[in-house]
Every structure is written in structure tokens, then in C-alpha cells.
């Protein structure tokens, strides 16, 4: 304010002097000594005032600011003293202070953002390491080709911590586990590995799959608090193809029969996830696998992967991708990679693919090492069936008249089954330890019809009558698209 008045007065003096000079030049007025002296005294006074003002309001604050900058670390509160400086320097200091405060705030925000990104990166790395550390080695089975299995884990810790596992409970009993724990914290990943360890221990200790899963659930309830373990636990008997599984909150598996080349959902009811309720009566479901059957298991991340229309990949895109994979991939690992690429294409660039794990199991029971064989359901397969039966009977001491009559019965039964077969027929031959009986089981897709009763010609009727006359026991059973005829023959 004072500096503005000073400039105003200086302007008035300059105008007065200019007016006097103009009056003198034009001859309107003479410049007297008094006027000149008065004008000079007034100008000198205002000039002295201006020097004093500039010294007080500009030079002294600059000196003080220089002093504060030199001893900034020694003084108690130099910033407050700099902001209290008078005049233009004080205003500049306040403006600079505001700007510095804004820069400090922006720097703090950037630091917090960098810290958050660093923490998220470290957490994601730890989650991935924990989940990958839980993955199994490939089982060492070089001497046989009973099964093929492969698993994959994508982005663990993105919406869920997940794993797959497979190991042997006995030399001919394979166990597979697919599981996930919702959440993205280290504690969720640790609970995942604890659940895996608990299940492994119970499966190796308890007598049955049902008992093991129920006992493991009780332990996880005490351990996990509010956390849950969505799991698919199954055992596969490599001799018989008997596949027992418990679905505890996992998506339904998909299965492809070898002769169908299309995947279908196994839509048995799923139980609650493990660890949520202390007492749940988990009961296994049984499926009989045949040579070349494949099972796909996936966690809920594939269900959360949605396209622009909001359609979930697991419900609409997965089955199509698996069916297409029959022509584009062969090995389980190749099929899983194909499905993963299809899921990423389904989501597109809208969002990253959620974390998930998946497992593909193929049953490849060897025809030569087991008392069973899988043959096309056509009469031309009879010679291979006869050779299989001959080998089994020879190894178990069945010979002579008993072997001759048994081979005729088995050939007739196989021919009847071929009349209704829609693919392969599995024949199982079990000789009693004491050698006094043989059990024959033929399984396949026969359209739900009993070949011993649905005869549509004289030859078929005669064959059925021959079997009823010499077989000691026959029974037909149909369930879940698989039909089977069981026959028992007692030695004479």
C-alpha cells in the first residue's frame, strides 16, 4: 500500500514538473527561483522517502531472506519467519511456500502410489511363489501308461489363490486335488497350502475318500475361521477305472468319452466349500472311466472370466473350446494351453484374466497289463477278445472243457452287446483266487438296452438262451450313459 502511494506521489511530482516546463516553453508562465527550489525540495523529499521505503521493504527483507537461507538448518522455524517478511519479498515467500506445499503433497502422493505398487508387486510375487511351491512333481510311472495328467495355474492371487495336485495313495490308486481359496492376501495363500497338507494327510490316513474329506473339513473349520477351501477331490483306480470324487464348492467337471469326442458336464450336486461348516456329510460320486476318457477340472476363475456381453466363459465358452481342442491339441498340456488362450480371447482387452487353476486327466489303462480290454463294438473284434480271454484263463489255470465253454459264452455275449453298442466295449475278466469261478463284465454305451432281453432275431434269441443255460448268474445295469452286463461262470 505504501509503495503504491509512493509511486502515485512521484507521478504527481513528475506531472507538476512537466507542466512547469511546458508553461515556460510556451511563455505562459516564468519559472521563479522559489518555484524551482520548492519543486526540487519536494522532489528530494519524495526521493528520500522512496529510498527509505525501498531499503525497508525490499533491501532489508532480501538481506533477511539471505540470512535465513544461509542458516536454514540452524534456526528454529525459518519457514515461518520467511513467510512473515514484509513487502513484496514476503508475498513472494508466501507464494513460493504454497507452491512448495503443493509439490510436497504431490511428492507424497507419488511416493504413496509407488509404495502401494511396490507392495502389490511384492505381494503378488509372494502369492505366486506360495501357490507354485504347492504344485506337484510329475509322478514317475515310466513302466506303464495308465494315465496322462497335466495341470496349469494362471495368475495365482488375482481374485483367488489356487492349486492343483496329484499323487499316489497306493501303487494303483491315483489321487487328484483341485482347490482355491477366495482372496488375494498372503494369509489366504497360506491357508491354501494348509488345506492341501491337511487333505493329503487325511487321504493317506483314513480308510475311504468320504471319511478323509469329512475329517479334513472339520480340521479346516478349526483352522481357517471365515476362510473357505473350494475343492474337487478324487481318486482313480487305475485297474478298474473307478473314479470317485467329492465336489466341495468347485465348478462341475466336464468329461469326454473317447468314442464321443464331445465334452459334457457331470452335473451332480456340489457340496458347500470346505472350512465353512463344521459338520458336512460329504459323500463321493462314482463314475466308471473307460479307455481314452478325459476329465477337465477348473476353478471358478474361468467362471468369472466374462466377455463384453457379460457371459461367463465356464458356462458358455469352455465346452466349445474343449470340443475344438480335439482337432487342435492332443496332449493334456496342449489342451490346457489351448483352453487358456481361448479364455483370454473370450475376455479380450476389457480386463485381465482372473486367476485360476485347471487340470486335465486322461485314463489310458494298458490293455496288456490288466484283466480288461477295450475293443470296438463290432463282431470283427471277436478274435482280439478271444486272445485276451485265452491269456487270462491260461494265467489262472482255467483250461479244458471249462475254458472251451467259457470262451463260447463270452463270444456270444460280446456279439449280443455289439448289436446295441454305440462305440467301444470294455470286457473285464476276473478269476476267483481259488479258481472255481470266473466273472465277466462287459460295459459300454448300449442305449440303456439289455442285450440279453432285446433280441430281434432267431440267432440272437438262440445266443441269449445259450448264455442263460450255461451261465450261473447274469445281471444288467445302466447308469449315467454306461450300460454293463455282468456274468458269472462256475467251473465244473
**CA-to-CA distance for 475 and 488, rounded, in angstroms?**
9
| Fold exhibited by the domain 134-363 | Phosphatase 2c; domain 1 (3.60.40)
Which residue matches cell numbers 459323500? 283
User: Between the CA of residue 279 and those of 13, 79, 219, what are the distances in Å?
Assistant: 101, 67, 10
Report pTM. 0.57
String of DSSP letters for 27-75 = TSS---HHHHHHHHHHHHHHHHHHHHHHIIIIIHHHHHHHHHHHTTTTS
Q: 196 burial class (0-12, 13-18, 19+ CB within 10 angstroms)?
A: buried
Are 470 and 405 contacting, i.e. CB atoms less than 8 angstroms apart? yes
The pLDDT value given to residue 213? 93
- Coil, strand or helix at 196: helix
The pLDDT value given to residue 306? 85
Residues of the chain predicted below pLDDT 50: 139-144, 366-370
The pLDDT value given to residue 8? 63
The pLDDT value given to residue 366? 46
The pLDDT value given to residue 30? 52
Angle between helices 400-418 and 458-470 (to 10 degrees): 140
Query: Which three cell numbers, joined as nine digits, stand for 8?
Result: 502515485
- Domain boundaries along the sequence of the chain: 1-128, 134-363, 372-490
The pLDDT value given to residue 422? 81
Q: Note the CATH number of domain 372-490.
A: 3.30.565.10
Are 460 and 489 contacting, i.e. CB atoms less than 8 angstroms apart? no
pLDDT in tens, 139-182: 444 344 578 888 888 876 576 788 899 988 987 899 999 999 88
Which residue matches cell numbers 456381453? 309
Q: 464 burial class (0-12, 13-18, 19+ CB within 10 angstroms)?
A: buried
Amino acid at each position: 500500500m505504501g509503495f503504491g502511494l509512493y509511486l502515485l506521489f512521484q507521478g504527481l511530482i513528475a506531472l507538476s514538473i512537466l507542466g512547469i516546463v511546458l508553461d515556460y516553453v510556451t511563455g505562459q508562465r516564468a519559472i521563479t527561483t522559489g518555484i524551482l527550489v520548492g519543486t526540487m525540495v519536494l522532489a528530494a523529499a519524495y526521493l528520500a522517502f522512496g529510498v527509505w521505503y525501498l531499503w525497508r521493504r525490499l533491501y532489508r527483507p532480501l538481506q533477511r531472506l539471505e540470512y535465513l537461507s544461509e542458516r536454514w538448518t540452524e534456526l528454529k522455524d525459518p519457514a515461518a519467519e520467511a513467510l512473515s517478511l514484509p513487502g513484496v519479498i514476503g508475498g513472494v515467500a508466501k507464494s513460493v511456500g504454497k507452491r512448495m506445499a503443493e509439490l510436497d503433497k504431490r511428492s507424497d502422493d507419488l511416493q504413496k502410489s509407488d509404495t502401494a505398487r511396490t507392495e502389490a508387486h511384492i505381494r503378488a510375487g509372494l502369492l505366486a511363489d506360495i501357490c507354485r511351491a504347492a504344485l506337484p512333481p510329475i509322478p514317475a510311472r515310466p513302466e506303464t501308461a495308465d494315465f496322462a495328467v497335466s495341470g496349469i495355474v494362471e495368475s495365482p492371487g488375482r481374485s483367488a489363490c489356487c492349486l492343483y495336485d496329484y499323487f499316489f495313495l497306493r501303487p494303483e490308486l491315483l489321487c487328484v486335488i483341485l482347490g482355491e481359496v477366495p482372496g488375494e492376501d498372503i494369509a489366504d495363500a497360506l491357508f491354501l497350502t494348509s488345506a492341501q497338507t491337511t487333505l493329503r494327510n487325511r487321504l493317506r490316513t483314513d480308510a475311504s475318500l468320504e471319511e478323509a474329506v469329512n475329517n479334513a473339513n472339520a480340521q479346516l473349520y478349526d483352522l481357517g475361521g471365515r476362510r473357505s477351501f473350494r475343492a474337487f477331490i478324487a481318486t482313480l483306480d487305475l485297474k478298474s477305472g473307478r473314479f470317485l470324487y467329492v465336489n466341495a464348492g468347485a465348478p462341475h467337471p466336464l468329461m469326454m468319452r473317447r468314442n464321443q469326442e464331445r465334452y459334457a458336464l457331470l452335473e451332480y450336486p456340489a457340496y458347500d466349500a470346505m472350512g465353512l461348516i463344521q459338520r458336512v456329510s460329504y459323500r463321493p460320486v462314482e463314475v466308471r472311466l473307460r479307455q481314452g476318457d478325459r476329465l477337465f477340472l477348473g476353478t471358478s476363475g474361468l467362471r468369472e472370466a466374462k466377455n463384453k456381453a457379460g457371459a461367463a466363459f465356464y458356462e458358455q465358452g469352455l465346452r466349445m473350446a474343449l470340443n475344438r481342442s480335439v482337432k487342435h491339441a492332443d496332449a493334456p498340456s496342449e489342451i490346457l494351453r489351448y483352453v487358456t488362450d481361448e479364455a483370454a480371447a473370450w475376455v479380450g482387452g476389457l480386463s485381465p484374466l482372473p486367476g485360476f487353476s485347471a487340470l486335465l486327466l486322461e485314463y489310458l489303462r494298458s490293455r496288456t497289463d490288466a484283466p480288461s480290454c477295450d475293443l470296438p463294438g463290432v463282431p470283427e473284434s471277436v478274435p482280439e477278445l478271444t486272445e485276451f480271454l485265452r491269456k487270462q484263463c491260461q494265467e489262472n489255470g482255467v483250461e479244458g472243457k471249462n475254458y472251451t465253454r467259457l470262451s463260447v459264452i463270452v463270444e456270444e455275449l460280446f456279439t449280443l452287446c455289439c448289436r446295441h453298442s454305440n462305440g467301444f466295449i470294455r470286457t473285464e475278466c476276473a478269476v476267483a483266487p481259488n479258481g472255481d469261478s470266473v466273472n465277466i463284465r462287459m460295459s459300454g454305451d448300449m442305449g440303456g438296452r439289455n442285450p440279453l432281453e432285446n433280441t430281434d432275431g432267431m440267432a440272437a434269441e438262440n445266443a441269449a438262451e445259450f448264455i442263460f443255460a450255461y451261465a450261473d448268474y447274469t445281471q444288467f445295469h445302466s447308469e449315467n450313459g454306461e450300460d454293463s452286463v455282468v456274468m458269472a461262470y462256475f467251473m465244473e
